[in-house]
């Protein structure tokens, strides 16, 4: 489910300038060589804007050149434009602090020269950054200021954008009725000025808001209108996005046939345009539909597909390096299995040799009576040697079998591994009382680009090994790691009445370990932790490379707890809190809007 957030200045420029294509970019670069200094600044700024969607590095390159020339010529208007271009590029790189610094610089310059429209646009940009940083109160202050100026100067399109984005912020705060009021204001203005794409985007958001206040008929009405409009524009991305939204809505309405119909349409389009996040979301919604219908096998398959796409999204730069290390591990494991097979074959050859030797000895006894004493002695000597070799071979088999079992237990829980060895399969199972731990490392993607890959892998291996020791000591089960994310459970596949207590205690020990480690480490790693309890489905995925995985709404909610946590804090849901509230100390938090869940109560654990 995707809220459509608009950034006014970006949309206006990119939709109105035909030079955004490669041909016009080449034309601008050619004209740059023969332009005067002031004209060069404008062309450089246009080139920076032209690369907003294609290459942030090029956008920054041209933006810095424009900034340098504008400072030299004291051209405040173009200097402000260059700062905005640099801010947008850094925002798209998720470097929000740097983007905010550029936006604030542009705001001051535009205030100095009295450019009211520019001031409003700068305020809007700053509000969007605070939105991304989840500082919603600050975001609303800047967006309100932008709105006041736009209404004053009669900028209707900008006013609609302000209303729309303020609606998005109220939506994310869980104030759905308030969000609807702002969406309706935006829609009214966009209908008045004929902003067709803006109308469609706002209708999608209104549909999401009505869904979140459980008014499903109204939600469906706006979704379908938005879908029809985007379909008319030929906008495949938004058609796929809204088809996903409608599929999820029919899931809530328990109309599974229609849910599957729209999700199939969304999946086909998302795969066609390679919109991986929409593909991942679609598989997750399909998994939820199958789970609601009780078809856990198909639910597991869809969840596996969603996880695969999530892995593909993650597998960039450091993710690829981590995948290489995991491939190396799988290769080494396969080589050990081959060595074991070779040893089995060697033992079989020894057995055959022993049998051949005995047969030849008997024949020699019948044929060569005179050599009977020698043959008997030789037979005794060789038999003793073969017996010694056989015992050594059995010992090797036992040792290698123990190594193989240990490797298998590193991948699968004990009971699941035993089922696979005994039956050759392990069916999915549902567990009602499970607590799920989910954590990831704060700022990992940004930090990983600066570290040597071998050092990064060594650090992760050291940290996750410590995590494994802690959760094993507290009777928990690690499920998997995906890059810097770590997922473990308690209460499955073996039931445990103390599942919630075990997980919370493990989380406290993990935070304590990281704090102690930071005192003597060059890198101070910090994590966010989320914990939730409930029903979970577990099963083995794959037939060649076995992976034990878990899925269900409890896993999703634990992930939401983690994303709404803070660095080095443990965020637990209301359900988990009620189970262990008498065994640990907690800090109650204000209710927070959770994607797909509405308002949820959460608690921080006091370590």
Which domain CATH number covers 112? Answer: 1.25.40.10
Answer whether residue 276 is part of any domain. Answer: no
Residue 240 lies in a domain: no
Tell me if 162 is assigned to some domain: no
Tell me what pLDDT residue 11 has. 33
Residues 399 and 453 in one domain: no
Which secondary structure element, helix H or strand E, spans residue 533, and what is its range? strand 527-541
Query: Does 371 share its domain with 458?
Result: no
Residue 329 covered by a domain: yes
Look at residues 582, 419, 405, 406 and name the one whose alpha carbon lies nearest to residue 494: 419
Q: Is the peptide bond before 108 cis (omega within 30 degrees of 0)?
A: no
CA 483 – CA 361 distance, rounded (Å): 62
Same-domain check for residues 394 and 527: no
* pLDDT of 8 higher than 60: no
Domain identity same for 81 and 54:
yes
Residue 398, pLDDT score: 65
Same domain, 391 and 473: no
DSSP structure class, residue 133: T
Assess whether pLDDT exceeds 50 at residue 581: yes
Total tally of structural domains belonging to the chain: 3
Check residue 520 and give its pLDDT: 85
Side-chain half-sphere CA neighbours of 162 within 13 A? 25
**CA separation, residue 475 to residues 44, 100, 491 (Å):** 61, 46, 9
**Backbone φ, ψ for residue 292 (5° rounding):** -65, -35
Give the pLDDT score at 338: 41
Residue 493: asked if its preceding bond is cis (omega within 30°), the reply is yes
Q: Does residue 417 form part of some domain? A: no
Q: Do 405 and 468 have their domain in common?
A: no
Range of the domain at 473: 426-606
Q: Dihedrals φ, ψ of 428, to 5°?
A: -60, 145
CATH number for the domain that contains residue 587: 3.30.70.1230
CA–CA separation, 145 and 166 (whole Å): 11
pLDDT tens digits for range 97-125? 999 999 999 999 999 999 999 999 999 99
Based on the domain organization, do 447 and 361 belong to the same domain?
no
Among the three residues 411, 434, 463, which one is the final residue of a domain in this structure?
Answer: 411
- Residue closest to 601 by CA, chosen among 557, 566, 554, 536: 557
Nearest to 69 by CA among 57, 81, 58: 81
**Per-residue model confidence as pLDDT tens digits over 67-76:** 998 898 898 9
Nearest to 162 by CA among 198, 211, 194, 134: 198
Q: What are phi and psi of 98, to 5 degrees?
A: -65, -45
Q: Are residues 23 and 69 in the same domain?
A: yes
Last residue of a domain, one of 104, 134, 154: 154
Max Cα-Cα span within the chain: 124
Is 433 found in the same domain as 405?
no
Whether residue 511 is found in the same domain as residue 585: yes
Same domain, 483 and 356: no
Give yes or no for a contact between 411 and 357, defined as CB atoms under 8 angstroms apart.
no
User: 590 by DSSP, 3-state: which?
Assistant: coil
Let me know if residue 63 belongs to a domain.
yes
- How do residues 134-178 score in pLDDT, each as one tens digit? 899 999 999 999 999 999 999 999 999 999 999 999 998 989 999
441 inside domain: yes
End position of a domain, from candidates 92, 120, 154: 154
With a cut of 90, say whether residue 187 has pLDDT above it. Answer: yes
Band (330; pLDDT cuts 50, 70, 90): very low
Helix (H) or strand (E) holding 417: helix 414-423
| CA nearest neighbour of 553 among 251, 240, 250 | 251
Q: Quick check: 278 and 31 in contact, CB under 8 A? A: no
Distance CA 141, CA 284 (A): 36
Residue 369: C-alpha distances to residues 356, 361, 376, 381, 383 (Å): 20, 12, 11, 19, 20
Cβ atoms of residues 124 and 146 within 8 Å: yes
> Quick check: 198 and 185 in contact, CB under 8 A?
no
Average pLDDT, the chain: 82
Query: For residue 329, is pLDDT > 80?
Result: no
- 356 & 490 share domain: no
* Separation of alpha carbons 77 and 511, rounded Å: 49
**Do the domain assignments include residue 302?**
no
DSSP letters, 409-470, are HHHS-HHHHHHHHHHS----EEEEEEEEEEEEETTHHHHHTTS-HHHHHHHHHHHHHHHHHH
């Amino acid at each position: 489910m995707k809220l459509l957030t608009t950034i006014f200045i970006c949309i206006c420029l990119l939709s109105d300038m035909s030079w955004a294509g490669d041909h016009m970019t080449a034309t601008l670069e050619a004209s740059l060589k023969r332009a005067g200094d002031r004209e060069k600044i404008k062309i450089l700024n246009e080139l920076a804007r032209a690369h907003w969607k294609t290459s942030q590095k090029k956008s920054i390159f041209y933006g810095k050149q424009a900034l340098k020339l504008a400072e030299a010529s004291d051209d405040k208007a173009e200097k402000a434009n260059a700062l905005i271009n640099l801010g947008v590029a850094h925002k798209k790189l998720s470097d929000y602090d740097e983007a905010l610094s550029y936006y604030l610089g542009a705001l001051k310059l535009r205030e100095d020269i009295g450019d009211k429209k520019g001031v409003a646009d700068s305020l809007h940009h700053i509000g969007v950054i605070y939105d991304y940083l989840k500082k919603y109160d600050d975001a609303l202050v800047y967006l309100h200021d932008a709105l006041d100026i736009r209404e004053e100067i009669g900028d209707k399109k900008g006013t609609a954008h302000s209303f729309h984005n303020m609606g998005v912020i109220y939506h994310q705060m869980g104030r759905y009725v308030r969000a609807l009021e702002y969406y309706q204001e935006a829609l009214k203005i966009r209908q008045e000025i004929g902003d067709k794409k803006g109308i469609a985007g706002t209708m999608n958001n209104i549909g999401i808001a009505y869904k979140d206040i459980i008014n499903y008929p109204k939600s469906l009405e706006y979704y379908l209108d938005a879908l029809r409009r985007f379909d008319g524009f030929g906008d495949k991305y938004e058609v796929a996005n809204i088809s996903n939204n409608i599929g999820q809505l029919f899931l809530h309405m328990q109309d599974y046939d229609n849910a599957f119909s729209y999700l199939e349409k969304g999946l086909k389009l998302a795969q066609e345009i390679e919109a991986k996040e929409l593909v991942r979301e679609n598989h997750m919604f399909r998994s939820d539909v199958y789970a609601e219908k009780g078809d856990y096998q198909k639910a597991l398959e869809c969840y596996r597909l969603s996880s695969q796409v999530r892995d593909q999204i993650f597998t960039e730069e450091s993710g690829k390096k981590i995948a290489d290390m995991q491939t190396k591990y799988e290769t080494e494991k396969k080589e050990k299995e081959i060595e074991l097979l070779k040893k089995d074959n060697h033992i079989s050859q020894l057995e055959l040799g022993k049998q051949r030797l005995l047969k030849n000895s008997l024949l020699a006894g019948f044929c060569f009576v005179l050599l009977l004493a020698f043959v008997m002695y030789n037979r005794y000597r060789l038999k003793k040697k073969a017996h010694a070799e056989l015992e050594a071979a059995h010992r090797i088999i036992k040792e290698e079998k123990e190594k193989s079992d240990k490797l298998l237990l590193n991948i699968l829980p004990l009971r699941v591994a035993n089922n696979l060895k005994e039956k050759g399969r392990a069916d999915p199972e549902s567990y009602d009382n499970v607590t799920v731990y989910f954590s990831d490392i704060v700022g990992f993607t940004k930090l990983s680009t600066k570290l040597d890959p071998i050092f990064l892998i060594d650090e992760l291996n050291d940290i996750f090994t410590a995590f494994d020791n802690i959760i094993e000591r507290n009777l928990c089960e690690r499920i998997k790691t995906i890059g810097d994310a770590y997922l473990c459970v308690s209460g499955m596949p073996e039931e445990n009445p103390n599942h919630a207590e075990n997980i919370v205690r493990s989380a406290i020990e993990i935070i304590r370990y990281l704090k102690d480690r930071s005192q003597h480490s060059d890198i101070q790693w910090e994590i966010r932790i989320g914990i939730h309890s409930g029903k979970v489905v577990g099963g083995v995925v794959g037939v060649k490379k076995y992976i034990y995985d878990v899925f269900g709404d409890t896993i999703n909610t634990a992930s939401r707890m983690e994303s709404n946590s803070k660095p080095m804090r443990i965020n637990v849901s209301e359900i988990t809190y009620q189970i262990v509230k008498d065994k640990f100390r907690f800090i109650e938090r204000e209710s927070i809007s959770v994607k797909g869940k509405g308002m949820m109560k959460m608690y921080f654990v006091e370590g």
